[in-house]
């Protein structure tokens, strides 16, 4: 066992209101610069939808992530040996500016300098790259709230396999349903961006797992941009360097949550340490699809296990980090309560940001269905469970996003969340919890104590409970971590780069 620490962000999707405050906070802090205008290190997508850049999940086209061959070997989708060399000079898998959008501003001076006339002057949109006048035809959140059209939603690849009848119902205007999906770099355990870089300019920090670009080493090959299946590395056309989300490491090192999380209006974001076993990454990466999710979850270690604590200390992880891992909301939601999943685990990068699938649209549909059937939600807890597969946002769709199509995984999570709601509703509305509700909790694999803890951390967390940030010891060099791979110049499966101190 080789214990490592990873800073992980958790997104509670039920709570996201799609306000984009996170995106703007990130933009103001990190990408409000020349060459970075089109970059949104944090973006929020309306789903179903095609996202940003458009259709980023289409790996047949973009060739991001890894694939496993018949013999169980794993390869980067972007390059095998001969192709890799050819693609140094022309890479058809790279997204074009149009796939992101042509960044624009407005010529505000028009408002002041227009000649007097009968009409109010308007500020014309102009390209932030060329300065020319332009017609705005797309943007990173162009299909926000479905934008009044089902066109983008209809093209969402994660709708594959959803019952055609349900798909059709989803597109009918009164059934239009969507959720928000905030996205940042996943600071993966097996990052394809790192493995694809011919200049060894991207690396994963040993102390907290943050994936960074060493800009002095970056030679603008842009393999990272193509290789990241989440399209979370961007090329700065002005500086000629790749850039990406840095998980606000300068903020974390001074005890502050990343800007997107700190500013989040819906308080959907949580931050904490996860301990994982680096020796198991190889097994994760090589697992067949139907075992991939389980092996990734198994690689995350119990921070209360005495053996894990001993191995963590032997690996140079301090008591304060172990304490943080024990109080981590990421640990609680992901492993202790089993409510959160990585986005698209089939990309095999072992993403380390986690999502709690949304129940809200499910819940409202279920309640409507029950009302139509004249079944009161209070009396028939188990009928609620039976209605999950009639949810407006289909289980298959959520499964395609978070569990490689396995609906059972999503059903289990939603049942537990539903049971917690029933439990709290009984408690607060009726003032007591009856046998039927306790049975519903048990059937969902939870207990009154756990339900209370889930409710508490979901609805009433203090800032200190949402963001459990360990103290950083900048006096400690990475080389001082007792990790044999660090001394061999590698930091994990598929990593090509020697570890370097943060920029």
List residues binding ligand SF4 (CB under 6 A).
16-22, 44, 180, 182, 185-188, 191-193, 211, 228, 230, 232-233, 244, 264-266, 268, 349
Tokens, residue 408: 């059972």
By beta-carbon proximity to ligand SF4, the closer residue of 187 and 335 is 187
How many Cβ atoms are within 10 Å of 41's Cβ, its own excluded?
25
| Smallest separation, CB 149 to ligand SF4 (Å) | 21
Tokens, residue 336: 């202790």
Helix (H, G, I), strand (E, B) or coil at 466: helix
Half-sphere exposure of 162 (CA within 13 A, CB side): 28
Tokens, residue 339: 């409510």
By beta-carbon proximity to ligand SF4, the closer residue of 56 and 321 is 56
By beta-carbon proximity to ligand SF4, the closer residue of 358 and 470 is 358
Tokens, residue 86: 């050819």
Sign of CA dihedral 47, 50, 52, 55: positive
End-to-end CA distance of the chain: 29
Contact 340, 458 (CB under 8 A): no
Q: HEC profile for 335-377?
A: HHCCCCEECCHHHCCCCCCEEECCCHHHHHHHHHHHHHCCCCC
Residue with tokens 């597109």: 171
How many Cβ atoms are within 10 Å of 83's Cβ, its own excluded?
12
| Smallest separation, CB 176 to ligand SF4 (Å) | 19
By beta-carbon proximity to ligand SF4, the closer residue of 209 and 407 is 209
User: CA of 499: how far to CAs of 192, 234, 387, 478, in Å?
Assistant: 16, 21, 50, 8
What is the rounded distance in angstroms from the CA atom of residue 202 to the CA atom of residue 223? 11
| Smallest separation, CB 42 to ligand SF4 (Å) | 7
By beta-carbon proximity to ligand SF4, the closer residue of 16 and 363 is 16
By beta-carbon proximity to ligand SF4, the closer residue of 423 and 467 is 467
By beta-carbon proximity to ligand SF4, the closer residue of 265 and 371 is 265
| Smallest separation, CB 230 to ligand SF4 (Å) | 4
| Smallest separation, CB 211 to ligand SF4 (Å) | 4
By beta-carbon proximity to ligand SF4, the closer residue of 48 and 342 is 342
| Smallest separation, CB 353 to ligand SF4 (Å) | 8
| Smallest separation, CB 299 to ligand SF4 (Å) | 16
| Smallest separation, CB 18 to ligand SF4 (Å) | 5
What is the rounded distance in angstroms from the CA atom of residue 95 to the CA atom of residue 248? 25
């Amino acid at each position: 066992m080789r214990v490592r620490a990873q800073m992980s962000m958790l997104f509670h999707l039920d709570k996201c209101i799609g306000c984009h405050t996170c995106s703007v906070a990130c933009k103001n802090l990190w990408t409000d610069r020349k060459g970075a205008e089109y970059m949104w290190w944090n973006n929020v997508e309306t789903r179903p939808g095609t996202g940003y850049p458009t259709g980023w999940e289409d790996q047949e086209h973009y060739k991001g992530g890894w694939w496993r061959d018949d013999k169980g070997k794993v390869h980067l989708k972007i390059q095998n040996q001969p192709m890799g060399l050819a693609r140094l000079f022309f890479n058809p898998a790279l997204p074009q500016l149009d796939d992101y959008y042509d960044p624009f501003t407005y010529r505000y001076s028009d408002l002041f300098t227009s000649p007097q006339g009968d009409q109010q002057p308007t500020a014309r949109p102009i390209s932030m790259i060329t300065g020319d006048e332009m017609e705005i035809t797309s943007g990173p959140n162009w299909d926000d709230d479905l934008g009044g059209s089902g066109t983008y939603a209809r093209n969402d690849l994660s709708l594959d396999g959803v019952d055609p009848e349900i798909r059709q119902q989803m597109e009918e205007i009164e059934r239009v349903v969507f959720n928000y999906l905030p996205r940042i770099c996943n600071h993966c355990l097996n990052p394809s961006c790192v493995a694809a870089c011919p200049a060894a300019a991207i690396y994963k920090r040993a102390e907290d797992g943050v994936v960074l670009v060493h800009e002095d080493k970056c030679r603008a090959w842009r393999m990272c941009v193509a290789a990241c299946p989440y399209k979370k590395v961007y090329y700065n056309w002005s500086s000629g360097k790749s850039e990406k989300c840095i998980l606000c490491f300068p903020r974390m090192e001074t005890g502050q949550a990343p800007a997107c999380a700190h500013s989040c209006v819906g308080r959907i974001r949580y931050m904490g340490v996860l301990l994982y076993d680096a020796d198991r990454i190889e097994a994760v990466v090589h697992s067949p699809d139907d075992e991939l999710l389980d092996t990734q979850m198994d690689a995350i270690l119990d921070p209360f296990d005495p053996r894990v604590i001993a191995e963590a200390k032997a690996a140079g992880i301090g008591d304060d980090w172990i304490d943080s891992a024990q109080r981590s909301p990421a640990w609680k939601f992901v492993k202790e309560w089993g409510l959160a999943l990585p986005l698209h685990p089939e990309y095999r990068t072992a993403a380390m940001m986690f999502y709690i699938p949304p129940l809200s649209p499910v819940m409202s549909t279920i309640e409507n269905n029950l009302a139509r059937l004249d079944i009161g939600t209070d009396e028939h807890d188990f009928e609620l469970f039976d209605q999950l597969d009639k949810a407006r946002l289909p289980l298959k769709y959520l499964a395609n996003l978070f569990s490689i199509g396995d609906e059972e995984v999503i059903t289990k999570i939603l049942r537990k969340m539903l049971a917690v709601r029933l439990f709290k509703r009984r408690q607060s509305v009726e003032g007591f919890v009856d046998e039927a509700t306790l049975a519903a909790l048990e059937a969902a694999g939870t207990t009154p104590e756990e339900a209370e803890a889930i409710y508490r951390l979901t609805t009433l967390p203090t800032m200190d409970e949402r963001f459990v940030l360990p103290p950083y010891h900048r006096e400690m060099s990475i080389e001082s971590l007792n990790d044999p791979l660090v001394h061999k110049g590698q930091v994990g499966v598929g990593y090509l780069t020697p570890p370097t101190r943060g920029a």
